[in-house]
Amino acid sequence: MKNDTVSSSKDETVFTLLTPLSNLLICHNQQCITQLEFIFKHISDRFPQTSFEKNIAEQIQHYLKDPLHNFSIPLAPTGTPFQISVWQALQKIKPGIPKTYGQLAQELKSCAQAIGQACRRNPIPLIIPCHRIIAKTHQGGYAGATDGTLFQIKKWLLAHEHRPQ
């Protein structure tokens, strides 16, 4: 989750979605999201146009209003088999019930540091909810950041999901 660039192949399309958190740059291959990044500077004036893109935008906006929204957007993140297993496990964590790096590591028979590295390399944050992984004694980092804008986004997402329903 870099904060200023998205690389895409010829077969992929990139569009921008404006949200209260930041602008989101979303890369997809017409069937699946392949990458999503929080961006803080102008990169693209291309906004959702196709029905697939409008569905992505609607689902993200719905989540931002209702943290219990279950995303049903097809995803195609690129990573190692271990990273993919972590990202799949992240998608099973319920909103408002975060887990620690250690808890997830125990479930996946790994170590907390490896979980943290997989979270840091998550190419589709927000939808693959790496923000739901916290340190044992504090909220932990977000994309390697322990302060600043990205960390504030993690804090906002955790508070958003922890609202009484």
Q: Which of 141, 1, 165, 154 is nearest to 69 (CA)?
A: 165
Confidence at residue 86, expressed as pLDDT on a 0 to 100 scale? 98
Catalytic residues: 130
Domains of the chain (ranges, CATH numbers): 81-161 (1.10.10.10)
Q: Looking at residue 61, what is its pLDDT? A: 96
Q: What does the pLDDT read at residue 143?
A: 75
**In a 10 Å sphere around its CB, with 0-12 CB exposed, 13-18 middle and 19+ buried, how is residue 158 labelled?**
buried
pLDDT tens digits for the chain (165 residues)?
A: 433 344 455 688 999 998 988 999 999 999 999 999 999 876 767 889 999 999 999 999 999 999 999 999 999 999 999 999 999 999 999 999 999 999 999 999 999 999 999 999 999 999 999 999 999 887 777 777 778 888 899 999 999 998 655
Q: Is 149 helix (H, G, I), strand (E, B) or coil?
A: helix
| Residue pair 87/79 in contact by the 8 Å Cβ criterion | yes
Q: How far is CA 139 from CA 15, 26, 43, in A?
A: 30, 26, 30
Reduced to 3 states (helix: H, G, I; strand: E, B; else coil), residue 23 is strand
